[in-house]
Amino acid sequence: MIRFGDEGMRRELAVLWRECFGDPEEYANLFFDNHPPKKHTLVSLAGECPVSMLSLLPVTAGKAQGGYIYAVATKPDFRRRGLAGELLRAAERHLKEQGKSFSVLTPSMPSLYNYYEKYGFYPLFSLGETIVRREKIPTIQDGDIRSLSSREFFSLRKAAFEKDRLFIAWDENELSYRKKEIALTGGEILGLCWNQARGAAVCYPGKEEILIKELALEEGLAPIQALGLLKRRYSAGYFRLRLPSDYPFPGGLAVSKAGCICWYDNQVKEVVLRDKRLQPYMNLVLD
């Protein structure tokens, strides 16, 4: 039987989460505290016990509304019975009934792209990555680094990524959750300002290397200048930077797949993709 979960099975869902993904209890609880199962999590039941699940989170692409499919998990003893596939079909039916135009997901490993293709998902998103040594980053003495509200972060991401590309956007509520999730996993979201241009950086500090998972920058603030500001905050010798895969970063970027899409409405697909010159972009997935 497949249905949405309820509050009474939250503990069992958290156990299933930890069993499949290995995350600490605090992480699973944070997710379900911010995403009630009765609204966000489809479950497959054996009797009254959830043995397989997936979660649906709201996303947009321009004016088109869709769902992000996340945390697809099945108890080890119940695998190879097609339960995850049944949940994917149920998710598709639900999203269509809700008037959604598409769904997106990020496979947890490259080999799963072929699995999801059987359910109508095709690879569309990619990310570029490069490592910049500290001594290659200019020192910027002026400018400012501060915290950001979820609303500011939402606006900066929209301005940075939506104009000329298919951009999968999280709403303010989801970005508020992202801030909590990023903080729990050792990261921080920083606001940047230099010569009146603003930006946002999602950073995961390490002793030797800083992962910049995303830079959302207004015109007038380039990635190398953003790194110059962040260099003042972090003392690590290397900065690992993720950018849209087509960004013209000096020396180029190593490009890898970053997600799939399944369209439910071809007319919406044509409108969303029309006149988009740049590569599609999806980031800040819960990986």
Is pLDDT above 80 for 135?
A: yes
Q: Cβ distance 227 to 106 under 8 Å?
A: no
Task: Judge if 119 and 143 occupy the same domain.
Answer: no
Task: Judge if 92 and 156 occupy the same domain.
Answer: no
Q: Tell me, what CATH number does 235's domain have? A: 3.40.630.30
In a domain, 72, yes or no: yes
Sign of CA dihedral 107, 269, 272, 67: negative
Q: What is the pLDDT of residue 141?
A: 84
Task: Judge if 106 and 162 occupy the same domain.
Answer: no
Q: How far is CA 247 from CA 51, 61, 263, 273, in A?
A: 42, 20, 26, 19
Q: What is the pLDDT of residue 139?
A: 87
Task: Judge if 263 and 210 occupy the same domain.
Answer: no
Task: Judge if 99 and 204 occupy the same domain.
Answer: no
Indicate the average pLDDT of the chain.
Answer: 94
Task: Judge if 181 and 81 occupy the same domain.
Answer: no
> DSSP code of 167?
B
Sign of CA dihedral 217, 274, 118, 42: positive
Structure-derived torsion over alpha carbons of residues 98, 99, 100, 101, reported in degrees to the nearest 10: 160
First and final C-alpha spacing in the chain: 28
Give me the number of domains the chain comprises. 2
Task: Judge if 118 and 135 occupy the same domain.
Answer: no
Is pLDDT above 90 for 275?
A: no
d(CA 281, CA 168): 6
d(CA 72, CA 17): 9
d(CA 20, CA 100): 29
For residue 156, what are the domain limits?
A: 127-244
In a domain, 158, yes or no: yes
* Joined tokens for residue 11: 């503990």
Task: Judge if 29 and 102 occupy the same domain.
Answer: yes
Q: Cβ distance 170 to 260 under 8 Å?
A: no
- From the list 163, 277, 274, the residue with the least C-alpha distance to 216 is 163
d(CA 254, CA 151): 31
Task: Judge if 105 and 153 occupy the same domain.
Answer: no
Task: Judge if 177 and 85 occupy the same domain.
Answer: no
Average pLDDT over residues 44-50: 92
pTM: 0.92
Task: Judge if 160 and 229 occupy the same domain.
Answer: yes
Q: What is the pLDDT of residue 287?
A: 62
